[in-house]
Amino acid sequence: MLQLHVIASGSKGNAAIIKDSAAEAALLIDCGICKRDLIAGCVGAGVDPASLTDILITHDHSDHTKGLGVAVRGLTKLGAQVTIHASPAVRAVSGPVEEALGTEGVSFHPFRAGDALSAGGMQVHVFRTSHDAVESFGFRVEGEGEGWAKDTLGYLTDTGCVTPEAHDALQGVRLLALEANHDVQMLREGSYPYLLKQRILSDRGHLSNDQAAAELDQLLSCLGGTMLEQVVAMHVSQENNLYLQAQEALAQVLALHQHPASASVAKQKTPISLI
Ligand SMILES: [Zn+2]
Ligand SMILES: [Zn+2]
């Protein structure tokens, strides 16, 4: 079965580990946190840091990449053989990706939207998201098994809207990490400068609680919606949202569908595990 360990989520830093319990290896999505927090997160999640063989980069923003160079050197010293997966355009503009690739023994695997790649003993399908980065992506991760027996996870953060590719990729997953960044009213009435508010609200910004709830509603209405067991609200703003509010937005949709899945929330500083 797949496990999702979100070490940190939010505008100050992001990192999440995905592991198939049947596999030795594990993969890391993004590294916008320091090495110490990453290693502590691994230990807390029961994942050997040396088993992190693959790192997937969603996009080039620093809250997703800034710890990469130091963390990769640390993982390599612990014996990990790391491959970094990112799009060529993201690599081209990301200092931390380039820094990490300067570490001896670290390799690079370029991906594009629509690719299926092998990482951490799992299959990963890459889809495009809509965000104000040079390019941005989400992932559908599949574990061992065939057909309906295959365990699946969807990972979507840092997107201003749910692209059709993203919606398709999230269908029928058992574990779902879904951005619920802001409460629109809190953002509108909050202290952020006008242009920043417009950026966040735009189609290339971040998903609101309402947008996340609408997407969850759509997914539960699809064939395969019954597969869902856990959904976690991601990248929740500490300025323009409340953790409980983001979680409730998703829980209400589950209640509406009388769906037995549970809703939780990923925080900036406290790791959470979905198993
Ligand atoms: Zn971000
Ligand atoms: Zn971003």
C-alpha 95 to ligand 1 mean position (Å): 16
pLDDT of amino acid 144: 77
C-alpha 146 to ligand 1 mean position (Å): 33
Q: Which ligand is nearest to the CA of 9?
A: 1
Q: Which ligand is nearest to the CA of 204?
A: 2
Q: Which ligand is nearest to the CA of 135?
A: 2
pLDDT of amino acid 4: 98
Minimal CA–CA distance to 213: which of 264, 254, 160? Answer: 254
Secondary structure letter of residue 147 according to DSSP: G
C-alpha 11 to ligand 1 mean position (Å): 5
Residue 169 to residue 187: CA distance in whole angstroms: 29
Starting from the edge strand earliest in sequence, which strands make up the sheet with 116-119, in order? 116-119, 122-128, 137-142, 152-156, 175-179, 230-234, 262-265
Starting from the edge strand earliest in sequence, which strands make up the sheet with 15-20, in order? 107-110, 83-86, 52-56, 26-29, 15-20, 2-8, 272-274
Residue 175 to residue 230: CA distance in whole angstroms: 5
Sheet strands (E) in 102-218? 107-110, 116-119, 122-128, 137-142, 152-156, 175-179
C-alpha 31 to ligand 2 mean position (Å): 13
pLDDT of amino acid 148: 66
Residue ranges of the domains in the chain?
A: 2-274
Residue 250 to residue 30: CA distance in whole angstroms: 24
C-alpha 133 to ligand 2 mean position (Å): 6
Q: Token match 């990453």: residue?
A: 38
Q: Which ligand is nearest to the CA of 10?
A: 1
Report the amino acid identity of residue 53.
T
C-alpha 10 to ligand 2 mean position (Å): 10
Find residue 139's DSSP bridge partners: 126, 155
CB atoms within 10 A of CB 26: 26
Find residue 126's DSSP bridge partners: 139
Q: Three-class SS string for 80-95? A: CCCEEEECHHHHHHCH
CATH code of the region 2-274: 3.60.15.10
C-alpha 177 to ligand 2 mean position (Å): 15
In terms of C-beta density within 10 A (0-12 exposed, 13-18 middle, 19 or more buried), how is residue 223 classed?
exposed
Residue by residue, pLDDT tens for the chain (275 residues) are 999 999 999 999 999 999 999 889 999 999 999 999 999 999 999 999 999 999 999 999 999 999 999 999 999 999 999 999 999 999 999 999 999 999 999 999 999 999 999 999 999 999 999 999 999 999 999 997 776 678 999 999 999 999 999 999 999 999 999 999 999 999 999 999 999 999 999 999 999 999 999 999 999 998 778 899 999 999 999 999 999 999 999 999 999 999 999 999 999 999 999 99
For residue 111, give both structure tokens.
């991906």
C-alpha 33 to ligand 1 mean position (Å): 12
C-alpha 123 to ligand 2 mean position (Å): 24
C-alpha 77 to ligand 2 mean position (Å): 29
Secondary structure letter of residue 269 according to DSSP: S
What is the distance in angstroms between the CA of the first residue and the CA of the last residue of the chain? 8
C-alpha 95 to ligand 2 mean position (Å): 15
pLDDT of amino acid 210: 98
Q: List CB contacts of 25: < 8 A, sequence separation 6 or more.
A: 19, 51, 52, 53, 54, 120, 121
pLDDT of amino acid 43: 96
For residue 44, give both structure tokens.
């807390």
